[in-house]
A and B are shown apart, each in its own frame.
Chain A
């Protein structure tokens, strides 16, 4: 059982943007979902944990490895899929994975070969192993990326927006794969897609403006909102009035008309009906604290 401990991590970029603002988290084996809108600081956090970025203050450790001070040691037990995963031109999938496997310390050539084939099969690319990766579609490349993140015996796997560009079938395969490994190691999955977290994670955190705004299990978050979310279909030109009167969590179009969710301790009447909150409501309620139309 490994423990990842993040304490008071802060990072401000040169242009003044606060990417991380006093972030503290503690995780253990299992899938951990990191939700947040674009620009919330998820990637900054992940890059910091992946030893690719410095923090201004705070600390992070995986078991007895101080991530910020011993990057080389952390890398030995790290699997990382960055948000943008590109590939070299003029190199095949097998060659690429083989190269990365060497870099990850798989020195036994036989082991390495079996591992690369196993992973290629897992991500359904075995038949394409001798094709140039540069010519792969976005989804195929992403699968190569996933395969490389699993190389070695990582204790910490960080995947940043892994399902972007995957079709639903591929996404399912990926989740199964991740769930398999996730039992024994820490997996941090960052995403802005709420469903991903709901389906996979036992624990989660929501980030916004560099801060952790919620931390806990998805279910308890949903439970906390129980009986406090109401919905109504409204006219488009009335949206602003509703925004003024209610704490709107979210609005989306249903059949051409806005459907709004509002948060309220009591039933707001006025044609609203109570709904069972879902994780999306949690997400929006946590990040939309100003209650503006989004």
Chain B
């Protein structure tokens, strides 16, 4: 057995090494496929898999003699207890580590064979480190198997039941996975690292800031948190082993003998045989069904396995709920959908396990208990028995689910949340979980009936329920019609209820439910009644076993199933076809190969747009007509234009004096030839009609943009794209190599001055600059529709609401159209209307959001310049996406955060305000000034916005230490991001749309810079930069232009910062080695600090080199343990790696720190702070 496991793991690892289709954990980008890091990740993941194998080994070791009833013979021999006990244990331990050695072999073999056969690029392999193998074995494989082994061995010796041992193994795995979910916040990382019993999170926390180079060269080592973690858990293992050992005895446990009660009340009643009237009618069937159901149901409820799993489910759910719904240090209100999600995430897997497990138990129960012949020889139809078994499974699952819903409701009430939506819980259950239980119940019952043995049945059931999906994805089949219990998922949103997937989900539910009935009918016909016989002979005799009407019923059900199947097929494949992943990829490749030649073709620019939009929320249709002005902004005539229409939008383009000369229906592409050609500077008006009409339902959820309540579209989704869009091309460098595509620059190079590249901005390319927009938009009567600009007119017509909007200032060609049933909160700030459009259920945070907008407007107008729109709108949209986005004057904001976050106790800064401030900042950084389409472009929008938002927070924060708490998310985002970089990290000013750089590092660096050169100086630089380029159109600025404005504001002494922070990748490694104090005679305190401080430069792959230090860094002290009260901060110049300094202080602080406010980027910040000790 052990060799089979070894072979399986070896093969999995082999394919994970040499194939891109098999991914374990994922070796991506610049990390080698055989790097120590990849190996460790694989080993730790496989460790979890092999736990179930370990259960087999340890359970077997503990119970072999017992099960073979050899124990009575063996234990009477002169065998020593420790020899027996530990001998068995160590044997199992060694054996259980062997399959994991298969991982090593798989990787070695994969690397070796790949070097011969070249399945994938050999560049993606690196050298081997023997240390990686040894350390992995000693740090992960051996200790993990040891720990799991002690638990399982102890359980097996205690309960002597294989089932309980397996449940134990399962519980370990799930407990482990759930415990891992606590490691979400940066704050409790150390706790998470130490409490992880398998050291997996420990390793990922220790390596979270590893650069690709480090991942490729460093093996896990015996140091730091990892070492402590391992020691802790090995110790735990020993304790368990010891307890188990001392409670183990060769003697058989005396079976409990219950005292027999004296039953003196022997009745002398005389019983008469009643007159019996056995009858076999419909009523009998019903009674038999009830009786079967009752006995089956009771047998599950009373079983120990069920009780263990049930209890465990509750524990997991309650622990998860206790943690609340955290978001960047804030808690969400426990809205119903959060609880529904939590219940599903935590308990569905258990309920499925219960269904699978008890399907086998119920089907084999009669036979296992040797009562099958009696039951089978009674006059009942097998179908009744099968249906009763299935129903008892479904009922158990339902009761569990309802019970968990009860827990959810109690949780809501305990948290003082009074909007209890029982109907939402129940509907979600009916739409989503109940069908799942029905299908899984019936299918697993059928599988068990067909298979010749319970365990084969389990195996097949697991294959169907788990592996089928993987197989389908490998075969590139996406249809939910072949994925058991598949269908569009419903997702409840307070705004849009169960959403666009509901219709499809209901049809798929019907499809699968009828399928389940059919499965049960088949199970009833093929049930092994009487002696065990082969499936073939059961099929032969099936006809005799079922009533005459049965065949008719089967045919009827099959026909109705086929009818539903045909309807579902028609809707999901004919009306709404979709492409599989592989086809899609190939299409993208062909797109580039076919149309890449048009890359440099000149296109006219959109200069004006007038939209007529009719939204029909009920039908989920959108009809549009757009009049656009197209201007030739080049210096040559343009004679033809390429259009790529949007998928699912029926688009008609009408350009005067033009004809279609080419059409490609695959890419919805057409080329219009204009005669006469469009001369430089000339404009023509084109009319585009684009309609989205929802037809039937889809295989997936369908569009989440055009919905019943909360339709949210942007112009790019409606209007066709002009010209070749390189944004559609494949980006992943390994994929590109696979398809023989040339290497691609992610972004054009940063170029100084004004070149052709500066003619396009990174957002709308060469398609448009700042344009005028006007919109007439209509929607159903109860909804409000919003488009950019001031509302000029509003009226009702044909029972529909009409709105006429006009933008007050030319804006980027990037705007949104939204329609929903909104409440509107308004406030006036100077002459700007602040408006928050929100769902009526989400009104708690509105005032705070208005404050945040106002605060932003104030800070930005004071520091950067005027706001050019007459409105600042925040508009809620349903939670299908979780972001906020800035369009001119309009900021759609997802319902899933912000609106439902609990801000009651938040007196000052919080992430909700921050996000608003960020989006508001975009009204300046992006919408007034936008970078050229080259490296560094996003720095000047995202980085600047992130900085601006930080400053609004800093402005209302009284304690500078609060900002440290806030900025750590940015530091963490940057350091983690660079660790996962797939290609190359770039310095800040050359960022290539890498979010960890423009958000994380952008914010950290600009915040640090204002701290060093002064807030006003930095803002002055930004302001003058803005003034040069505001709403200016091409040429667009680059990072060079920003630095041109920045440099005058930076004093010479700090000039090094521009190079270090913007133009290169610089990190600091600061450490307070020792901090001691002594009381001086004058009552003051002399504090001595031993400091290590290194400056590090990194290349794009993470190769780091130390460079000489000559930098200003703060030192400071804390008066309290919580590091809230900063005291005696000073900025000092460090020009040696190690330094020792002495400071005299009036009061005695608790802690000392270098860089106390965490301004600098430092991979290990924790060691910057140390408690003071008295000098000896």
Is B545 an interface position by the 8 A CB rule? yes
Binds B, one of A111-119, A166-174, A204-212, A248-256: A111-119
**Contacting A126 at CB < 8 Å: which of B267, B375, B547?**
B267
| Contact indicator B278/A52 (Cβ below 8 Å) | no
1/0 per residue A135-158: CB within 8 Å of B?
Answer: 000000000010011001100000
1/0 per residue B455-481: CB within 8 Å of A?
Answer: 000000000000000000000000000
| Contact indicator A75/B302 (Cβ below 8 Å) | no
Is A246 an interface position by the 8 A CB rule? no
Q: Across the interface, which residues of B come within 8 angstroms of A152, CB to CB?
A: 276, 278
Which residues in chain A, 214-268, are within 8 Å of chain B measured between CB atoms? none
Question: How far does the alpha carbon of A199 sit from the alpha carbon of B332 in the complex, in Å?
Answer: 82
Query: With A88-B295, A107-B279, A152-B278 in contact, is A52–B378 under 8 Å at CB?
Result: no
| Contact indicator A148/B299 (Cβ below 8 Å) | no
Chief secondary structure at chain B's binding surface = loop
Binds A, one of B338-346, B514-522, B527-535: B527-535
Is B371 an interface position by the 8 A CB rule? yes
| Contact indicator A89/B374 (Cβ below 8 Å) | no
Question: How far does the alpha carbon of A110 sit from the alpha carbon of B274 in the complex, in Å?
Answer: 9
Is A104 an interface position by the 8 A CB rule? yes
Question: How far does the alpha carbon of A205 sit from the alpha carbon of B269 in the complex, in Å?
Answer: 40
Query: With A54-B533, A127-B263 in contact, is A114–B370 under 8 Å at CB?
Result: no
Question: How far does the alpha carbon of A126 sit from the alpha carbon of B302 in the complex, in Å?
Answer: 24
Distance in angstroms from A9 CB to nearest chain B CB is 15
Binds A, one of B83-91, B282-290, B1082-1090: B282-290
| Contact indicator B369/A89 (Cβ below 8 Å) | yes
Which residues in chain B, 351-389, are within 8 Å of chain A measured between CB atoms? 365, 369-371, 373-381
Question: How far does the alpha carbon of A193 sit from the alpha carbon of B891 in the complex, in Å?
Answer: 92
Is B80 an interface position by the 8 A CB rule? no
Question: How far does the alpha carbon of A111 sit from the alpha carbon of B272 in the complex, in Å?
Answer: 11
Is A80 an interface position by the 8 A CB rule? yes
The chain A residue sitting closest to B533, CB to CB, is: A54
**Contacting B299 at CB < 8 Å: which of A51, A69, A90?**
A90
Q: Across the interface, which residues of A come within 8 angstroms of B277, CB to CB?
A: 108, 111
| Contact indicator A80/B287 (Cβ below 8 Å) | no
Is B298 an interface position by the 8 A CB rule? yes
**Contacting B276 at CB < 8 Å: which of A85, A95, A153?**
A153
| Contact indicator A127/B266 (Cβ below 8 Å) | yes
Distance in angstroms from B292 CB to nearest chain A CB is 8
| Contact indicator B373/A118 (Cβ below 8 Å) | no
| Contact indicator A118/B374 (Cβ below 8 Å) | no
Q: Across the interface, which residues of B come within 8 angstroms of A99, CB to CB?
A: 291-292, 294-295
- Chain B CB within 10 A, most for which of A51, A76, A78, A107: A107
| Contact indicator B547/A52 (Cβ below 8 Å) | no
Question: How far does the alpha carbon of A115 sit from the alpha carbon of B263 in the complex, in Å?
Answer: 23
| Contact indicator A71/B370 (Cβ below 8 Å) | no
| Contact indicator A82/B380 (Cβ below 8 Å) | no
Q: Across the interface, which residues of A come within 8 angstroms of B269, CB to CB?
A: 121
Is B541 an interface position by the 8 A CB rule? yes
Q: Across the interface, which residues of B come within 8 angstroms of A145, CB to CB?
A: 374
Is B544 an interface position by the 8 A CB rule? yes
Query: With A88-B299, A90-B299 in contact, is A52–B541 under 8 Å at CB?
Result: no
The chain B residue sitting closest to A54, CB to CB, is: B541
1/0 per residue A66-84: CB within 8 Å of B?
Answer: 0011111001101011101
Q: Across the interface, which residues of B come within 8 angstroms of A100, CB to CB?
A: 374-375, 378
Q: Across the interface, which residues of B come within 8 angstroms of A70, CB to CB?
A: 544
Query: With A53-B530, A53-B531 in contact, is A103–B273 under 8 Å at CB?
Result: no
Question: How far does the alpha carbon of A153 sit from the alpha carbon of B276 in the complex, in Å?
Answer: 7
Is A105 an interface position by the 8 A CB rule? yes
| Contact indicator A115/B274 (Cβ below 8 Å) | yes
| Contact indicator A81/B374 (Cβ below 8 Å) | yes
| Contact indicator B276/A51 (Cβ below 8 Å) | no
Distance in angstroms from A60 CB to nearest chain B CB is 13
The chain A residue sitting closest to B278, CB to CB, is: A105
| Contact indicator B276/A106 (Cβ below 8 Å) | yes
Question: How far does the alpha carbon of A102 sit from the alpha carbon of B544 in the complex, in Å?
Answer: 22
Is A186 an interface position by the 8 A CB rule? no
Is A198 an interface position by the 8 A CB rule? no
The chain B residue sitting closest to A76, CB to CB, is: B379
Is A86 an interface position by the 8 A CB rule? yes
| Contact indicator A153/B266 (Cβ below 8 Å) | no
Is A5 an interface position by the 8 A CB rule? no
Classify chain B: how many residues form its interface, as a range.
35 or more
Is B280 an interface position by the 8 A CB rule? yes
Q: Across the interface, which residues of B come within 8 angstroms of A82, CB to CB?
A: 373-374, 377
| Contact indicator B273/A50 (Cβ below 8 Å) | no
Question: How far does the alpha carbon of A72 sit from the alpha carbon of B294 in the complex, in Å?
Answer: 23
Query: With A107-B287, A117-B271 in contact, is A86–B276 under 8 Å at CB?
Result: no
Is A18 an interface position by the 8 A CB rule? no
Distance in angstroms from B368 CB to nearest chain A CB is 8
The chain B residue sitting closest to A73, CB to CB, is: B379
Distance in angstroms from A115 CB to nearest chain B CB is 6
Which residues in chain B, 369-419, are within 8 Å of chain A measured between CB atoms? 369-371, 373-381
| Contact indicator A47/B373 (Cβ below 8 Å) | yes
Question: How far does the alpha carbon of A69 sit from the alpha carbon of B295 in the complex, in Å?
Answer: 30
**Contacting B273 at CB < 8 Å: which of A54, A91, A115?**
A115
The chain A residue sitting closest to B276, CB to CB, is: A153
Q: Across the interface, which residues of B come within 8 angstroms of A91, CB to CB?
A: 295, 298-299
| Contact indicator A80/B373 (Cβ below 8 Å) | yes
Is B537 an interface position by the 8 A CB rule? yes
Distance in angstroms from B385 CB to nearest chain A CB is 9
Distance in angstroms from A192 CB to nearest chain B CB is 19
1/0 per residue A166-209: CB within 8 Å of B?
Answer: 00000000000000000000000000000000000000000000
**Contacting B302 at CB < 8 Å: which of A51, A90, A118, A148?**
A90
Is A279 an interface position by the 8 A CB rule? no
Is A293 an interface position by the 8 A CB rule? no
The chain A residue sitting closest to B538, CB to CB, is: A54
| Contact indicator B374/A85 (Cβ below 8 Å) | yes
**Contacting A111 at CB < 8 Å: which of B276, B288, B292, B380?**
B276
Query: With A53-B530, A88-B365, A115-B274 in contact, is A105–B379 under 8 Å at CB?
Result: yes
| Contact indicator A118/B273 (Cβ below 8 Å) | yes
Question: How far does the alpha carbon of A99 sit from the alpha carbon of B297 in the complex, in Å?
Answer: 13
Is A27 an interface position by the 8 A CB rule? no
Is A87 an interface position by the 8 A CB rule? yes
The chain A residue sitting closest to B294, CB to CB, is: A99
Question: How far does the alpha carbon of A54 sit from the alpha carbon of B273 in the complex, in Å?
Answer: 35
Query: With A86-B370, A111-B274, A153-B278 in contact, is A71–B531 under 8 Å at CB?
Result: no
The chain A residue sitting closest to B269, CB to CB, is: A121
- Chain B CB within 10 A, most for which of A99, A105, A117, A127: A105
A-side interface residues toward B, CB under 8 Å? 47, 50-54, 68-72, 75-76, 78, 80-82, 84-91, 95, 98-100, 102-108, 110-111, 114-115, 117-118, 121-122, 126-127, 145, 148-149, 152-153
Closest 9 CB pairs of A and B: A52-B530, A86-B370, A105-B278, A103-B378, A75-B379, A82-B373, A102-B291, A114-B274, A118-B271
5 contacts between A and B (CB under 8 A): A50-B377, A90-B302, A114-B272, A126-B271, A153-B278
**Additional A-B contacts beyond A54-B533, A71-B544, A114-B272 (14; CB < 8 A):** A50-B377, A51-B377, A75-B377, A82-B373, A88-B295, A90-B303, A99-B294, A99-B295, A103-B288, A104-B278, A107-B281, A111-B275, A121-B269, A149-B374
